[in-house]
Amino acid sequence: MNRNERIVIIAILAIVTLMVVLDLLTDSTEGVPIWHVLVEGGAGFAALFGIFYFMKGSYNLQHKLSDSLTENIKLKQEADDWKTEAQKYIEGLSKSIDLQLTKWNLSNAEKEVALLLLKGLSLKEIASIRNTTEKTASVQSISIYSKSGLSGRSELAAFFLEDLLQPQTV
């Protein structure tokens, strides 16, 4: 139920409560039976209870929304902090990978292919990204493996990731 619907229901219940109070005041001057006053009073009390029930629900919903927004801001800040901290490591890793690729005497094109291989792209995808043929990407990947002394993509990935993925000691 949205806010406007709650307001309409509260307004209707307030009007019903007011009408019941006015009716009880006129009935009291006309000498109506007590059971009639009790029934109408019960209806007025029920309408009044409904007003408080909806107002309490609206308050609780507003409070939960406020808490959720606060939590959302906190989580976004934690994510930003993590990204900032991780960025230092990512930059360091990128520099280390580039340094190793340079030690292997890879050309700029071979370095680019090596990075795309590390990202897990297929030779077809690498050729598409680099606007070359799949054959060219294949020849460059073979050259990378030859210059690095590695046997293939798995060893290339393992060369850079092996030390990063140490098991957690408990």
Same domain? 117 vs 71: no
- Asked whether residue 51 falls in the same domain as residue 109, the answer is no
Q: How many CA atoms lie within 13 A of 121 on its CB side?
A: 19
Distance from C-alpha of 5 to C-alpha of 2, rounded to nearest angstrom:
5
Residue 165: per-residue pLDDT: 67
- Is 80 in the same domain as 112? no
User: Same domain for 15 and 80?
Assistant: yes
Our count of domains for the chain comes to 2
Quote the domain boundaries for residue 49. 1-84
- Report pLDDT for 162: 79
More confident residue, 103 or 3: 103
Q: Encode 69-104 in three state secondary structure.
A: HHHHHHHHHHHHHHHHHHHHHHHHHHHHHHHHHHHC
pLDDT at residue 168 in the model: 67
The answer as to whether 59 is a domain residue is yes
Q: Which of 52, 84, 116 is the last residue of a domain?
A: 84
Reported confidence tier of residue 57, pLDDT bands at 50, 70, 90: confident
Cα–Cα distance list, 40 to 44, 62, 73, 132 (Å): 6, 33, 50, 86
- Give residue 65's pLDDT: 92
Q: What is the pLDDT of residues 134-165, one digit of tens each?
A: 999 999 999 999 999 999 999 999 998 876 66
**CATH code for the domain of 141:** 1.10.10.10
State which of 27, 51, 84 marks the end of a domain: 84
Examine residue 99 and state whether it is found in any structural domain, yes or no: no
Residues 116 and 68 in one domain: no
Mark whether 65 and 127 lie in a shared domain. Answer: no
| 163, part of any domain | yes
Q: What is the pLDDT of residue 64?
A: 93
Determine the pLDDT at residue 102.
Answer: 94
66 and 10 within one domain: yes
pLDDT computed for residue 163 by the predictor: 66
Q: Is the pLDDT of residue 166 over 70?
A: no
pLDDT score, position 24: 86
Q: What is the pLDDT of residue 128?
A: 96
Same domain, yes or no, for 3 and 54? yes
